[in-house]
């Protein structure tokens, strides 16, 4: 895989504030400046971090206000990443924040109203809309959906999920390919030919997600989920294939189990969630130190967890990455919100090197060269005047020509060819069959007349 146009860029960070009638007066934000401030007096003792610092200020690439609509979130956060993916650049959008702060609503959307669609369904719509506008390109889309539950990977599109217990399902393993990029074993890929097929895969995966009720959220995601879109594109007449991968990530929310009072299975899930988020923070800190040149940091602990390994390309790799931090501005949640903002600032220090992913496809090169040889042979025959002194085409020859025309018409390749040879008999017959097809008569029957050479080509 070759890359050109590579550039180093920091991860963009956005903050989305959850709507609430109880927004604390201790929070002030200027959306136009991307600035948010917290004022936590030292005499407040209801769960706040009670250190010497009273005022906190954080700056983001953008702040999404509580009354912002889903389409605005999509345009500000995701649009540039999608545009890059259509041109061969990898992209990642991930949501991070406390449980119940709006991550799943942001990434997937609400189930009741069409306008509440999240980033994933809007991304699918945008991609197919862009594909329809690029008639000189041929695109293909494949979709995978990974769930990481209690530090084990599972395929959300595995048909066996409906009949098997979680512990009986085949686990997905995260590997590092020969090119250093992340690869998955036992994770299925599904071709989506249109928007409806892609959305059905999303809905199927969401149905299989692991959720539970917690004191913070009636439908809390108990796993990290990565919706993966892989695109391939090539232009007519080109041997180059552009490939890109989009990771749309809904991280499970951090929670303080001492405050929520969960127990049993939910407590065990919370411990795994917090542990994986801790490993994520370790990776971010290591990448931050490397970007700032602190010490001689070379090793990045991606392998500490399944989730950080799955996001290896997105964090410090070849990827255009955007983080959307979600927070609650309710007073008793401000300590968690401050932690979320601190984490976001660390993420903003991480630098990725982004380059276009393009390959020369050997099969396309072979196909093009064979076509050139065929065309040269036909041109040579015509130039030498190699006309055949023979009678009309036989029924078998006409039937074969009809099949070639059907294949040519149905072939989606922009550079499809019709190999009729250099004989004027076949060329005239092909023109007559095309005329019948355009007039709505189909190709069957009556082809013998054109095949017999009685037809003509008008100019």
User: Would you state the structure tokens that stand for residue 8, as one six-digit string?
Assistant: 């180093």
For 104, list phi and psi in degrees, rounded to 5.
-65, -40
Bridge partners of 397, per DSSP, are none
Count CB neighbours of 440 within 10 A. Answer: 6
User: Would you state the structure tokens that stand for residue 300, as one six-digit string?
Assistant: 């990045």
Query: 100: annotated binding-site residue?
Result: yes
Query: 62: annotated binding-site residue?
Result: no
Query: 207: annotated binding-site residue?
Result: no
Query: 102: annotated binding-site residue?
Result: yes
Query: 103: annotated binding-site residue?
Result: yes
Give which of 356, 358, 374, 355 is closest to 366, Cα–Cα: 374
Query: 101: annotated binding-site residue?
Result: yes
Give which of 221, 227, 218, 223 is closest to 249, Cα–Cα: 227
Integer Cα distance of 191 and 142 in angstroms: 4
- Provide CB contacts within 8 A for 178, sequence distance 6+: none
Integer Cα distance of 231 and 90 in angstroms: 10
Query: 253: annotated binding-site residue?
Result: no
Integer Cα distance of 35 and 238 in angstroms: 47
Query: 32: annotated binding-site residue?
Result: no
User: What's 46's DSSP letter?
Assistant: S
- Provide CB contacts within 8 A for 107, sequence distance 6+: 93, 95, 118, 119, 120, 227, 248, 249, 250
What is the DSSP secondary-structure string of 181-198?
-EEEES---EE--SHHHH
Give which of 315, 141, 173 is closest to 245, Cα–Cα: 141
**442 three-class SS:** coil
Count CB neighbours of 162 within 10 A. Answer: 9
For 384, list phi and psi in degrees, rounded to 5.
-85, -10
Query: What is the bridge-based pairing of β-strands 35-39 and 55-59?
Result: antiparallel
Q: Which residues fall in the annotated binding site for ATP?
A: 97-104
Q: Which residues fall in the annotated binding site?
A: 97-104
């Amino acid at each position: 895989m070759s890359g050109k146009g590579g550039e180093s860029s920091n991860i963009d960070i956005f903050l989305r504030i959850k709507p609430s009638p109880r927004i604390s007066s201790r929070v002030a934000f200027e959306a136009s400046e991307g600035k948010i401030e917290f004022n936590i007096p030292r005499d407040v003792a209801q769960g706040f971090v009670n250190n010497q610092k009273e005022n906190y200020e954080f700056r983001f690439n953008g702040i999404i206000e509580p009354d912002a609509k889903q389409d605005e979130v999509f345009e500000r956060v995701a649009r540039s990443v999608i545009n890059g993916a259509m041109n061969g650049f990898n992209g990642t959008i991930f949501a991070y924040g406390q449980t119940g702060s709006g991550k799943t609503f942001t990434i997937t959307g609400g189930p009741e109203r069409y306008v509440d669609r999240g980033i994933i369904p809007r991304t699918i719509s945008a991609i197919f809309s862009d594909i329809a506008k690029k008639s000189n390109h041929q695109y293909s889309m494949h979709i995978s959906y990974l769930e990481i539950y209690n530090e084990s990977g599972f395929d959300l599109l595995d048909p066996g999920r409906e009949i098997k217990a979680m512990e009986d399902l085949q686990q997905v393993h995260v590997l590092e390919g020969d090119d250093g990029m992340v690869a998955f074993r036992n994770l299925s890929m599904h071709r989506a030919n249109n928007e409806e097929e892609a959305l059905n895969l999303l809905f199927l995966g969401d149905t299989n997600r692991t959720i539970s009720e917690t004191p913070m959220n009636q439908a809390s995601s108990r796993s990290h989920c990565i919706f993966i879109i892989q695109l391939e594109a090539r232009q007519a007449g080109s041997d180059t294939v552009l490939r890109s991968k989009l990771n749309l990530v809904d991280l499970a929310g951090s929670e303080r189990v001492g405050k929520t009072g969960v127990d049993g299975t939910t407590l065990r899930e919370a411990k795994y969630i917090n542990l994986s988020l801790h490993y994520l923070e370790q990776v971010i800190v290591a990448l931050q130190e490397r970007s700032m040149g602190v010490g001689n940091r070379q090793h990045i602990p991606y392998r500490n967890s399944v989730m950080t390994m799955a996001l290896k390309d997105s964090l410090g790799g070849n990827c255009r990455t955007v983080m959307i931090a979600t927070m609650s501005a309710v007073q008793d949640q401000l300590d968690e919100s401050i932690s979320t903002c601190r984490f976001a600032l660390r993420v903003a220090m991480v630098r990725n090197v982004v380059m276009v992913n393009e390959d020369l496809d050997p099969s396309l090169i072979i196909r093009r060269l064979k076509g050139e040889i065929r065309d040269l042979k036909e041109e040579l025959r015509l130039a030498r005047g190699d006309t055949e002194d023979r009678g009309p085409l036989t029924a078998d020859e006409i039937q074969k020509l009809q099949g070639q025309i059907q294949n040519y018409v149905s072939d989606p390749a922009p550079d499809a060819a019709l190999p009729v040879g250099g004989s004027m008999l076949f060329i005239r017959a092909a023109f007559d069959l095309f005329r019948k097809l355009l007039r709505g008569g189909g190709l069957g029957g009556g082809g013998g007349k054109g095949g017999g050479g009685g037809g003509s080509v008008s100019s």
